[in-house]
Structure 1
């Protein structure tokens, strides 16, 4: 057997695990709350214009949540209906970085399958857009990165692009879910008429292990779920099983030093945690007899993209003494308390 042939099963397994890791979304309390609000939002379909805003730091799971929503919507429609009628109950688009109407129209048309989304006058394209939304029975429009669509103007300046978005709500009576960073909250100041149609607002936040036991448990639960994606190789990562359950069903935390190192490395942001395990997956399937010890984890951390790691630290959490980790966490709590006092 050639070397290429012998590597094929390993590559298939590696790719399968990577796909599972990248798609994993835990239905934690903030997701459940958002989902309940979305269900309430969708009761406004064809009744009144309504919107919802989910805001939070990059990487906190907003886009993953939206993709899960879309998947859940399609799960309720049989394949023959999808094939025969080409229904699109939920569509997701990423807002253009320029606050202009034509760019948003083009992006929506492309998502709806228009063969020439950039062809025609704005009026012609709007007609095609409204026609497609009706024919495809769209019941929820999700616009990600909505903060990029806000005008780069002074506070209180009305935006024609946001006015168009309000018109889309009014004319189609299709609920719109907006996702963005905390900058998206400026909609309330920039265009109050659009803001008045946003019936629900909720935040997605990163995990915390310093003083919130529930958040610490959810952080460990996400890590444990990621470990489970490794199947037969999960035993290599047994040190990442941070939750132990006794005979009475009570949960306790274990291996807290590694738990805290991983938390500091990723700042408790789901995207960073997933990216760390994606890199870990590559190493496990590249290096024979890979061990998840601190030197190897430190090497993996050093290879991560800057957007995946904690930008507030200038040290490698897997190679420093635990005193450095504890000092950082103590300072982190103090800074958080200071911000709360300011608010």
Structure 2
């Protein structure tokens, strides 16, 4: 039996991180700093790949798309959290909650698909180097990038649109800093079987399948590297995919940590802290991982920063 169907006043309350007013300023500064570092770092990666002709290759083309997805990923959640802390209001409208869920899933799926495409790029580069230019041609790279964006945008619709069929009761408090889909579904008075089926189906198609593709690509990559006779050749082959492998480990490691921690502990606080790693820390670290481990990126970033400094001085 449904209690107090709230289809008219569809507002939710984001409980956020803490109720302690003494920690709000510290939390605001921390979130703002992380957000600025994430946006600035990923923007620099995009600018470097666009401005430097040496980086006009498939790997860096996909990397710039990954940086754009990471900016969107964090922009879906952090600005709303900052506004809530600043205004001391935790209310988010039903439409805002649906939009947040949709774009969060879009950019999460986009990260999945781009990491898969980048794994395939490394597979071709290491396992079929003589055919790399022919296989990874500009047309195919563009199609894969556009295809990943299209699939993410289309595949995220069922999860968010099926929420429209639900009714919500008097308790509309989301124990999170954003509208996390599983937490929102827990607040529904309606039968969420269809929603859960859709969530699991999309997770398998846009989450498990891409991860399987990455694992298969790297199994072939490692097999090819082990067949290389010289240690120098092995090191060079490993270095070409080291940054991507580290990003893949960080992305899926923190993502799995969210679900494993939620399954191991009924505490929403544990899931909340795990989500911070998944939604904030990982996108913030990606630019550092690629720039610190890649000489070409370092050189390109140096050129971009020098141009910015010169233009600032001249103006």
Larger Rg: 1
Q: TM-score range by the shorter chain?
A: under 0.3
Q: Which has the higher strand share?
A: 1
Normalised to the residue count of structure 1, the TM-score between the two structures is 0.23
Q: Which has the higher helix share?
A: 2
Normalised to the residue count of structure 2, the TM-score between the two structures is 0.25
Q: Which has the higher contact order (CA 8 A, sep 6+)?
A: 2
